Structure 1
Amino acid sequence: MTIELVDGKAGTAHISSEDKAIIHQAKFSKSDVVFDWGDAFKCSMSSSNRATIGTGCASIQGLDWHITSAESVTISNGSQGMKRNDIICAHYNRNPKNGNELVELVVLKGSPNATAAADPTIPSGKILSGAVDAYMPLWRIPLDGITVGTPVRLFTTRGALWDSVTQTCQLQWQNTASFVPASYGASNTITVKDGLIFVDLSSFRSTVKVGDYRVWLFEAGVKPSKTIGLGCVANVAGAAYGKQARWNADGSVTLIGGVGSSDIVQCFPKIIPVPDGVEFV
């Protein structure tokens, strides 16, 4: 029988981690989530070879896990004249022999490169499809030679359920010399609430000529799980045409069609429905 009252009494132990993962994915998100609890997994370098991860609570593909006392991981030494990115991940593992499950912190080591560092490949695995391993990226540790740089956070924390009814993406200008903000401009935010997307981009004067361009970059908040077309969001002063935009999966906003080196782009508020199949993470 495939129908089950998961939280009901059945006379025998019947609630599995698979049950909880399905329900949590349906309620919250299929994506990995870090909640705003404890230190929210704050990362600090206690030495050149040691990264400390603070307390926090998260969900990896619907399975909840937490750190109640700071944990440390080892970062391998860098190489003189080489750049490297390491990624600290939460690693889920299910023992194929007895079915026992655990989560632990691991470091995925990047490949050294003399010119530019690249992140290592994060192994993919879907727990509900039977994978025995899954990885949740938390922090990037950049190394330049033997020098360890500032850790880079790879997640956005989620507030409590009742605080997440309204979700906001805060944007920042790609460059205020190229795109000069209008005085008393808008908030440069995209807000998601009650199935609607509220776009509030600030007007600007362009000093450069570009084609399709990410004028607004992600600063904080939520991102769409896939690119969303925002439609027409602006007019160009003195021109008989408007400008469309798209909200990218990395949180940035691209102005479509480009701008001229003296265009004054007059943005206006926009409200559109959330497209089917889009989540916000």
Structure 2
Amino acid sequence: MTTTLITGKGGTPHITSGDMGAMQAGIIGNGSYLLQGSDGSWPAVTMQDANHALIPVLNLVVEGRYARVTEAETATIESGVSGQNRNDLVCLKYTRNNQNIETAAIAVLKGKPNTGTAADPTVPSGSIHSASGTAWIPIARIPISGITPGTPVMLIKQLPPMSKLWDSVTQTLITNQYGTVTGVKTGNVAQISIDWKSATTDSWGRGQFGTIPEGWRPAVVTHGTWSGRDGGSQREFILETNGNLSYVNCGAGQNGGAFSATMTYILA
């Protein structure tokens, strides 16, 4: 029998690291990623002194496996040689023994020194996905010029939390029988798109779209404009700090047909 209900009760222990790794890799991605810290920052490797790299608390997902550095630890960096350059790699080393016991530890791959431009050492082949006995996941590069180590360079990809990814997805903010207002935001900037089916034709007429929800409201009252064909229509859009979104026609003849517009602004 090859079909298994992994997260169903089976009567005996049956959920393996391979099961959870396959699921997490399918959801998160097949690569290796650094997760954001609990304070919202991205942790980074630093140099404690000339021979020790300081690895902070880290949360990593490597080829579907979740690994943590729960307390800051150091990795030894061999001294450089005057007149030569070298790159070392601070890595997470994954190991699987012949009893399928899996472990992970911080390890350093030493580069080859030379008098020219330093190159990263070759990362040994091996993949958790293919059940290799070892897999090396580079976390940071330590550039060493002569006897002096430089600032570590983080190599592992940052994986933003889902809350950030959700912000980058277009969301419907207002919807009714007259149309929709959708939005997308990144950081403290938002852009909304108005897609409306009709408008008042009064020269100075006003209309309401609705209320933009909290989290999407501007820092200051924001104005935008829309012009119809051949100068026949013009209206102003107004987004207030309380979320009220409306429009006002700007005199002359006004088209009452469908219209669309966008506004970009700084979030409160």
TM band (smaller chain): 0.5 to 0.7
Partner of residue 48, structure 1: 50
Aligned pairs, number: 170
Equivalent residues of 2:32, 2:157 under 8 A apart: no
Q: 1:113 to 1:166 in 2, by over 3 A?
A: farther
Partner of residue 162, structure 2: 161
CA distance in 2, matches of 1:2, 1:32: 28
Summarize the alignment of residues 36-185 of structure 1 with structure 2, pairs less than 5 Å apart.
36-38=36-38, 40-96=42-98, 98-165=99-166
Partner of residue 248, structure 1: none
Partner of residue 190, structure 2: none
Specify the SS of the correspondent of 1:141.
strand
Specify the SS of the correspondent of 1:18.
helix
Q: Which amino acid aligns with 1:55?
A: V
Partner of residue 18, structure 1: 18
Equivalent residues of 1:84, 1:142 under 8 A apart: yes
CA distance in 1, matches of 2:49, 2:106: 17
TM-score by length of 2: 0.60
Q: Which amino acid aligns with 1:25?
A: A
Q: Which amino acid aligns with 1:94?
A: R
Summarize the alignment of residues 202-213 of structure 1 with structure 2, pairs less than 5 Å apart.
none
CA distance in 2, matches of 1:158, 1:58: 9
Query: Which entry has the higher C-alpha Rg, 1 or 2?
Result: 2
Specify the SS of the correspondent of 2:81.
coil
Q: 1:47 to 1:159 in 2, by over 3 A?
A: same
Summarize the alignment of residues 253-264 of structure 1 with structure 2, pairs less than 5 Å apart.
none
Specify the SS of the correspondent of 2:20.
helix
CA distance in 1, matches of 2:52, 2:108: 11
Summarize the alignment of residues 240-279 of structure 1 with structure 2, pairs less than 5 Å apart.
none
Alpha-carbon RMSD across the aligned residues, in angstroms, is 2.2
CA distance in 2, matches of 1:105, 1:150: 18
Q: 1:165 to 1:135 in 2, by over 3 A?
A: farther
Partner of residue 171, structure 1: none
1:167 is displaced (CA, Å) by 6.0
The percent of aligned pairs where both chains have the same amino acid is 36
Q: 1:91 to 1:135 in 2, by over 3 A?
A: same
TM-score by length of 1: 0.57
Equivalent residues of 2:111, 2:120 under 8 A apart: yes
Equivalent residues of 2:36, 2:43 under 8 A apart: no
CA distance in 1, matches of 2:168, 2:5: 31
1:128 is displaced (CA, Å) by 2.5
Q: Which amino acid aligns with 1:110?
A: G
CA distance in 2, matches of 1:4, 1:102: 26
Specify the SS of the correspondent of 2:111.
coil
1:30 is displaced (CA, Å) by 0.5
Q: 1:101 to 1:137 in 2, by over 3 A?
A: same
CA distance in 1, matches of 2:97, 2:79: 31
Gaps of 5+ in 1: 169-190, 194-281
Specify the SS of the correspondent of 2:80.
coil
Equivalent residues of 1:40, 1:55 under 8 A apart: no
Partner of residue 231, structure 1: none
CA distance in 1, matches of 2:168, 2:76: 35
1:40 is displaced (CA, Å) by 3.9
Q: 1:23 to 1:45 in 2, by over 3 A?
A: same
Specify the SS of the correspondent of 1:163.
helix
CA distance in 2, matches of 1:119, 1:46: 21
Gaps of 5+ in 2: 170-183, 187-268
Specify the SS of the correspondent of 2:95.
strand
CA distance in 2, matches of 1:167, 1:17: 32
Q: 1:26 to 1:111 in 2, by over 3 A?
A: same
CA distance in 1, matches of 2:62, 2:3: 24
1:126 is displaced (CA, Å) by 1.9
CA distance in 2, matches of 1:68, 1:7: 27
CA distance in 1, matches of 2:129, 2:30: 11
